[in-house]
Amino acid sequence: MLYVVHKPFGAVQVALCDGLIQGFQLGVVTPMPIFHHCTVEITVSVILYSIIPFAAMPDKLYHSSSWLIRPHIVEQLIRLDANENPFGPSPRVAQALAEFAGYHLYPDYRPLREAVARYASVSPQQVVLGNGSDELIDLLMRLCLEPDQGVILCPPAFSMYRFFADVGRHPVWEVPRGDDFSLDMPGIEAAVRESDGRARLLFLTSPGNPDGQVIPQDTVRRLLRLPLMVAVDEAYIEFGGPGVLPLLAEYENLIIIRTFSKWAGLAGLRLGYALLAPELADGLERIRAPYNVNAAALVAALATLEDLETVQANVARLVAERERLQAALAAIPWLEPIPSQANFILCRLRGRSGQEVAEALAGQGILVRSFSEPRLEGYIRISVGRPKQNEALLRVLWEL
């Protein structure tokens, strides 16, 4: 049986038994028969159930029977849609993972916490490790927000900020960025004022996703003087900068979020970290799950930090390739690449939609990112690939 139940506080919940919810409507109170063999009533929040599950690759591309791409290309897809590092990790990572003898034990994070602290030039008490930086975004909201408090976002923004605010049922104040993707400073200041102290956490991304632009340090400084916490997501900082690390000693309300997914090529192993005041770090340490980062990520990250020369050489290759790709894209008459400090390039399209171009490229086995939000309809975001992948992309773009 499926029940839709009004809760006292006005929200609606669905009771579902042993199967999929089919065709329910908000506000319907009548029990809807679906299955009759269940013994336990399970309730889920309708609000959360309306979130679309995340898939790393859209279903229609994943299934090789898709109309969109020819099956023989599936194996050779050129994936320039998720800002991964096409050069992969240090070769020492595979070696360290093969030689590690402690997979049967729960991991001890202290050596990595210390190594990350050395890499970032902070004290270990200012470092918190997470299962990807995604997890740290979630933990920060849990630590800093009471149920009626929320976040300020500056769209277009990385989707996980909104996602975790929604999952935590926190209010969101959106202050859209300008046409050139610059922050609307008076708008942010007004949102803080008008929220009556309920907007507690501001998320910024620098270099920004999807635009690739760095937020000037003076701008961050001005925002740090507002009465709220400021999280600066530096997922792409190794590809451009400068970052805001020098401000950490000055401002206790600054939190920097970083990741090993991009520069270190470890997206699949899920390791992020936060740099923040020791008191806040202590708070995050208290609420994270005991073994949130797995032993393989730990081993891989330590091997990476012991082989910085190789990894940084890959970052330099990627940056050089980004500049080359940027110039080549600018030569295509209907494409306008926006200068980027990250490992991707956002392109404004003249006379075409992002979805149309992304689908045409997918038909040739090349994935780039298009966006559903109306403001980005006329854009695609291209992750910088290896030279041969970028050549293939350019060839197809010239033919479209």
Residues 158-187 that bind ligand PLP (CB under 6 A): 158
* Contact range with ligand PLP by CB under 6 A, out of 46-54, 131-139, 213-221, 315-323: 131-139
State in angstroms the smallest separation of the CB of 293 from ligand PLP. 11
Residue count (the chain): 400
Identify the residue among 85, 90, 126, 133 touching ligand PLP (CB under 6 A).
133
Identify the residue among 90, 213, 253, 259 touching ligand PLP (CB under 6 A).
259
State in angstroms the smallest separation of the CB of 114 from ligand PLP. 20
Contact 53, 20 (CB under 8 A): no
Measured from the CB atom, the residue of 84 and 321 that comes closer to ligand PLP is 84
Measured from the CB atom, the residue of 158 and 371 that comes closer to ligand PLP is 158
Measured from the CB atom, the residue of 86 and 272 that comes closer to ligand PLP is 272
* Contact range with ligand PLP by CB under 6 A, out of 121-129, 130-138, 308-316, 366-374: 130-138
Measured from the CB atom, the residue of 2 and 293 that comes closer to ligand PLP is 293
State in angstroms the smallest separation of the CB of 134 from ligand PLP. 4
235 binds ligand PLP (CB under 6 A): yes
Measured from the CB atom, the residue of 235 and 248 that comes closer to ligand PLP is 235
* Contact range with ligand PLP by CB under 6 A, out of 87-95, 129-137, 293-301, 350-358: 129-137
State in angstroms the smallest separation of the CB of 41 from ligand PLP. 35
Per-residue HEC secondary structure of the chain comes to CEEEEECCCCCEEEEECCCCCCCCCCCCCCCECCCCCCCCCEEEEHHHHCCCCCCCCCHHHHCCCCCCCCHHHHHHCEEECCCCCCCCCCHHHHHHHHHCCCCCCCCCCHHHHHHHHHHHCCCHHHEEEECHHHHHHHHHHHHHCCCCCEEEECCCCCHHHHHHHHHCCCCEEECCCCCCCCCCHHHHHHHHHHCCCCEEEEEEECCCCCCCCCCCHHHHHHHHCCCCEEEEECCCHHHCCCCCHHHCCCCCCEEEEEECCCCCCCHHHCCEEEECCHHHHHHHHHHCCCCCCCHHHHHHHHHHHCCHHHHHHHHHHHHHHHHHHHHHHHCCCCEEECCCCCCEEEEEECCCCHHHHHHHHHHCCEEEECCCCHHHCCEEEEECCCHHHHHHHHHHHHHC
Measured from the CB atom, the residue of 144 and 231 that comes closer to ligand PLP is 231
Residues 281-310 that bind ligand PLP (CB under 6 A): none
C-alpha 116/C-alpha 296 separation (Å) is 16
Contact 169, 225 (CB under 8 A): no
Identify the residue among 81, 138, 233, 238 touching ligand PLP (CB under 6 A).
233
* Contact range with ligand PLP by CB under 6 A, out of 33-41, 126-134, 182-190, 276-284: 126-134
- The site that binds ligand PLP (CB under 6 A) totals a number of residues, namely 13
Identify the residue among 89, 132, 283, 365 touching ligand PLP (CB under 6 A).
132
* Contact range with ligand PLP by CB under 6 A, out of 73-81, 102-110, 132-140, 353-361: 132-140
C-alpha 112/C-alpha 291 separation (Å) is 13
Residues 78-97 that bind ligand PLP (CB under 6 A): 83
Residues 202-231 that bind ligand PLP (CB under 6 A): 205, 209
Binding site for ligand PLP (CB under 6 A): 83, 132-134, 158, 205, 209, 233, 235, 259, 261, 267, 272
